[in-house]
A and B are shown apart, each in its own frame.
Chain A
């Protein structure tokens, strides 16, 4: 009884994913096909890597609305570097560098000039998209040659983007659980003033968080362009929202201080499965948007409600425990 109670509390979101998976399997025979699974996971790789970056920022009390635009800019730069040098390594580095530069600018705006993250990254969203379009003159870059391998190739039976997804998932988990940076991130998001008073270098934490986000966004840009086999300056529009949705559905709290890598992964797959099953069953695409919005609303309501209950639950326990100790 108690076991189930804790299990339900802690893993409720995992149950949702399992139920959804079973539901999808019955709702459409093609869902479980190798082809479809490969498809979902390669698609999800890009948004989930974005979501990992987003999760770290939200935990620290910030957010990044520029992710989709910066992704496009990084991808476009990476593609052009590849076309002019033929080097995959240089292309990836160009993508990462672009992501990092944009995000350092975000960090300067937010941490040094104290602009609210929403506004600062909104500005970056417009600027990065503008630069991408200006640089390409609005033209898609085609014929990428071997560049597509990183997005469409496989290692054994595993698509290469999925390997990236796993690697970045582990990296995020590691950063959040096993580094001083991760611990400080939770503290900064949970109560910034207390973090300062505890001797945490909040500036450094914020800059680091954005730089890491920049690396994630840059790589996502490379994977995205390789998968679609084109440099699309107008690609990945609204991807930042998909990433935010995944993060929130996965239990990251918008008030800061709470969130996990595992939760975000589960959140991303819930969103991905839903999108996929709606596409497979030919749900009207306008309707899909409505459903997606509804899910965000539900996830946030759920987050707020369980948090309230959780606090009361713990409070109850602690009082009980105190009582016991006092009677001893």
Chain B
């Protein structure tokens, strides 16, 4: 018996057909603390959270709240026990208003007539919003709010449910730095109220800022569970991967060649303007900036996904224009999107079909498909990329995020592009897979390809790039060569603290 323990998980086991997802899991969360769970994708964190939230039932073991055993059969029961979960993907109905979303599934009903008591809904929503000092009105539609606003709503919803255990699954994967601060302030406040928070994250700096205790998962078991002050970053990473990652960024010096891609005065009114840059053979060029700075938009226009108003470009010294993705691919320029699920994978099809989708000419001749050739191409690529997939016919949606990303990278490489654009290539991917992706990128640079890396993780850019452009407000604010790389300087350009030094002000 320990009165300071809010939630205790004891000896939990869970198997799925053919695999033991969780093996004798023990850990406990203290009252009013943040308990961070980390581990590679597929280590069992999400399965455990789903058990605590009542989505899955454990095969054996116990969950105790306030040291009393409880049985959680479904998420509704979890909510009644004071457990709320905030998912990576937000659970709101975009077309409905703030108040409707807040009370979804528990709308108060009038005693007489049984109709919804909208006045009560409005009153309570206003009270909640006021208490949290949120500026929007109860009737604002969700689609008009930002991701972080919506996340705040999720938290408010959890609080209004009187939850004292809140599970957050990678809550910062889609919000800006400023919004992260807001979230952390909120978490602090919740802690002070005695709420226990279980926080799943891959981001090291975040973990060390916010955690009180850290539990590390690997292959369905708890490897270690310690207070934060007894851990440092390197130990943590080693515990997570179970092997030593000697160098976080496997950057190598590559001879830089001629200009591969030159972009001159790209414009798309209202989105970006006067964007000029160049990429050389063997060079990894970073694009830094805050969310909404226009980085992704420039890249999308570059490969013909979005229309362009004006601007010129040349590839390998030849002036050219790109009207759609087909043009871009044919000219030797391929982009890996930041939104894997939306612009990347065909979820219901096999990993093989996903891999060859941009290179169908290599697989089909005029009359038929070269079945063996296709399998050979893909298995070679998978070996090179270290893709872990049960078979070539496995449906891609069933792979982990890191492996999906590697499949998409394999797909890009199969096209053998001259210029490869990677938009947030390591978002939501575990440390081990990240390292492998960095290595692949380095190898590509060695082969003389030009690589554009758009990323919001500054250490990644600084570790991997030869040059970094910083964008803000739809244009390039600064260009940094290697000797000037620093997080502070990049942030200064990104936030506009230093004026544009490229002479293309408007």
Contacts and interface: CB of A to CB of B under 8 A. Distances in A.
Interface in B397-412: 397-400, 411
A198 B357 contact: yes
A318 B348 contact: no
A321 to B, nearest CB: 5
Nearest to B350: A186
Contact of B346 (A257, A311, A318): A257
Nearest to B374: A183
Contacts of A200: 357
Nearest to A191: B346
Interface stretch (A160-168, A174-182, A275-283): A174-182
A183 B19 contact: no
Contacts of A255: 348
B325 A197 contact: yes
B429 to A, nearest CB: 14
A260 B329 CA distance: 30
A149 B42 CA distance: 63
Nearest to B348: A257
B49 interface: no
A58 to B, nearest CB: 13
A305 to B, nearest CB: 15
B17 interface: yes
A35 interface: no
A327 B220 CA distance: 13
Nearest to A309: B17
A198 B358 contact: yes
A194 B342 contact: yes
B133 to A, nearest CB: 38
Given A197-B337, A253-B348, A318-B390, A183 B21 contact: no
A190 B358 contact: no
B18 A317 contact: yes
B353 A311 contact: no
Interface stretch (B95-103, B226-234, B361-369, B458-466): B361-369
A16 to B, nearest CB: 22
Contact of B353 (A179, A183, A199, A314): A183
A198 B355 CA distance: 10
A contact patch SS: helix
A321 B388 contact: yes
A184 B344 contact: no
B17 A312 contact: yes
Nearest to B389: A318
Nearest to A257: B348
Contact of B345 (A184, A194, A199, A256): A194
B349 A178 contact: no
Contacts of B328: 199
Contacts of A327: 219
Interface residues of A, number: 41
A253 B395 CA distance: 15
Contacts of A256: 348
Nearest to B415: A199
Contact of B388 (A179, A201, A313, A318): A318
Given A178-B367, A196-B305, A197-B337, A311 B342 contact: no
A323 B360 CA distance: 33
B321 interface: no
Interface string B277-312: 000000000000000000000000000010000000
Nearest to B329: A199
B332 interface: no
A323 B342 contact: no
B394 interface: yes
A194 B398 contact: no
B194 interface: no
B17 A316 contact: yes
A326 B399 contact: no
A186 B349 contact: yes
A185 to B, nearest CB: 11
Contacts of B83: none
B82 interface: no
Contact of B16 (A186, A194, A315, A321): A315
A317 B17 CA distance: 8
Contacts of A323: 19, 219-220
Contacts of A39: none
Nearest to B361: A180
Contacts of A194: 342-346
Interface string B2-18: 00000000000000111
A82 to B, nearest CB: 34
Interface string B478-496: 0000000000000000000
Given A187-B357, A199-B326, A318-B400, 14 more contacts: A183-B363, A187-B353, A191-B345, A191-B346, A196-B325, A199-B325, A255-B348, A257-B348, A317-B18, A317-B19, A318-B394, A321-B388, A321-B389, A321-B390
24 contacts: A179-B369, A184-B360, A190-B349, A191-B347, A194-B345, A194-B346, A195-B346, A197-B337, A199-B328, A199-B329, A255-B348, A257-B347, A257-B348, A258-B348, A313-B18, A314-B394, A314-B398, A316-B16, A316-B17, A318-B394, A318-B398, A320-B19, A321-B390, A326-B242
Interface of B: 16-19, 21, 42, 219-220, 242, 305, 324-326, 328-329, 335, 337, 342-349, 353, 356-358, 360-361, 363-364, 367-369, 388-390, 394-395, 397-400, 411
